[in-house]
Amino acid sequence: MRIAVPNKGRLHEPTIDLLERAGLHIENGADRKLYAETVDPDVTILFARAADIPEYVADGAADLGITGLDQAREAQTDRIEELLDLEFGRCRLVLASPEDGDIDAVADLAGKTVATEFPNVTREFFDDAGIEPDIVEVTGATELTPHVEMADAIVDITSTGTTLRMNNLGVIAEVLSSSVYLFARDDVADDPKVQEIQTALSSVLSADGKRYLMMNVPRDELEDVRDVIPGLGGPTVMDVANGEGEKVAVHAVVDERDVFETITEVKNAGASDILVTEIERLVE
Ligand SMILES: Nc1ncnc2c1ncn2[C@@H]1O[C@H](COP(=O)(O)OP(=O)(O)OP(=O)(O)O)[C@@H](O)[C@H]1O
Ligand SMILES: O=P(O)(O)OC[C@H]1O[C@H](OP(=O)(O)OP(=O)(O)O)[C@H](O)[C@@H]1O
Ligand SMILES: [Mg+2]
């Protein structure tokens, strides 16, 4: 099984980090290497440009890919499936034009020029709007093009909005909302190994923002403590060795945001020896 992941740029680090946290430790990867083995002898990592990854997967060079949804849409292939939203690399593809110009609406672009790194997604957007502007493909610094009379508007990525603001561009419409996904070629999407990888990645996302809470509770106070523990399916209750049946251990998965308040509440309800730990993975 081969997974294509971004070789550089902003998606590289978080992708590697996610694979590591999912237990797919990379064994012999080195800077500038194009592939690497993992702890799982059946899983190899290929390093490719974020924009090329959908193509790699569709063509069979890789079986799985991790890249932005925007890139997958731009590749216009029906051979890849979106398996899992990995919840990072969140951004929007937007149509934007100079704040001080006369383009204020999608309809104003009839007969005009739009510059973008995403010509296919852009064409589809304008097709849906029933408008046919000229589309000029660029490979970066798209925000510059309206200021040098190359284009009347752009379709480009924005997240914080800083780049648009700095270049005096205003958003006219959203074209696509994107984040990084795990993709698979359609003929391997149901493969057990693919499912295994999907479960491993998903378990990292499920653990995000969760904490594991452990405490000892006198058996008489168990109901009071149980009442104040929020979250996931109720706590696990176990007898404490040598506790002579008077105390039980209570374990629970709690939302990180609830931990502070919960500790005070369980303590007031009679719990002691309270431990809070991080959770690496949570397979639901
Ligand atoms: N500003 C941003 N905020 C969040 N996600 C972004 C942003 N810019 C790009 N992305 C996401 O990252 C993907 C890769 O971006 P891009 O192709 O620009 O690579 P890069 O990280 O800039 O590296 P390089 O251009 O050097 O290959 C985009 O397709 C998009 O999904
Ligand atoms: O809304 P913002 O937070 O300002 O982000 C938007 C910018 O981020 C991306 O560029 P990137 O930094 O990846 O540079 P690049 O053009 O070299 O890819 C994108 O192409 C925008 O220019
Ligand atoms: Mg970029």
Domain residue limits, the chain? 2-89+179-206, 91-178, 209-278
pLDDT band (50, 70, 90) for residue 233: low
272 lines ligand 2 (CB under 6 A): no
End-to-end CA distance of the chain: 24
Please tell me the distance from the alpha carbon of residue 112 to that of residue 127, in angstroms, as a whole number. Answer: 14
Beta partners for residue 137, in sequence order? 116
Reported as half-sphere exposure (CB side, CA atoms, 13 A), residue 66 has a value of: 28
156 lines ligand 2 (CB under 6 A): yes
Q: Which fold has domain 2-89+179-206?
A: D-Maltodextrin-Binding Protein; domain 2 (3.40.190)
How does pLDDT run across 78-131, given as a tens digit for each residue?
999 999 999 999 999 999 999 999 999 999 999 999 999 999 999 999 999 999
Q: Which fold has domain 91-178?
A: D-Maltodextrin-Binding Protein; domain 2 (3.40.190)
SS3 of residue 281 by DSSP: coil
Q: Which ligand is nearest to the CA of 143?
A: 2
Identity of residue 220: D
Q: Which ligand is nearest to the CA of 70?
A: 1
Using the atom order of ligand 2, give the atom closest to the CA of residue 141.
16
How does pLDDT run across 195-229, given as a tens digit for each residue?
999 999 999 999 999 999 999 999 999 999 999 99
- Average pLDDT on 271-281 reads 96
Residue 247 phi, psi dihedral angles, 5° rounding: -120, 150
Indicate if 209-278 has the same CATH topology as 91-178.
no
CA-proximal residue: ligand 1, atom 31 (nearest):
68
Nearest to 66 by CA among 28, 24, 95, 94: 24
Q: What is the CATH class of 209-278?
A: alpha beta
Identity of residue 58: A
Which two structure tokens, joined as six digits, stand for 114? 């739009």
- Average pLDDT on 19-34 reads 87
* Whether 197 contacts 3, CB under 8 Å: yes
Residue 54 phi, psi dihedral angles, 5° rounding: -60, -40
DSSP state of 5: E
Least confident of 47-61, 137-151, 219-233: 219-233
CA of 9 to the centre of ligand 1 (A): 7
- Average pLDDT on 276-284 reads 93
User: What mean pLDDT is reported for the chain?
Assistant: 95
Least confident of 140-154, 207-221, 232-246: 232-246
Please tell me the distance from the alpha carbon of residue 155 to that of residue 179, in angstroms, as a whole number. Answer: 17
Question: What is the CB < 6 Å shell around ligand 1?
Answer: 8-11, 49-51, 68, 70-71, 89-91, 157, 159, 178
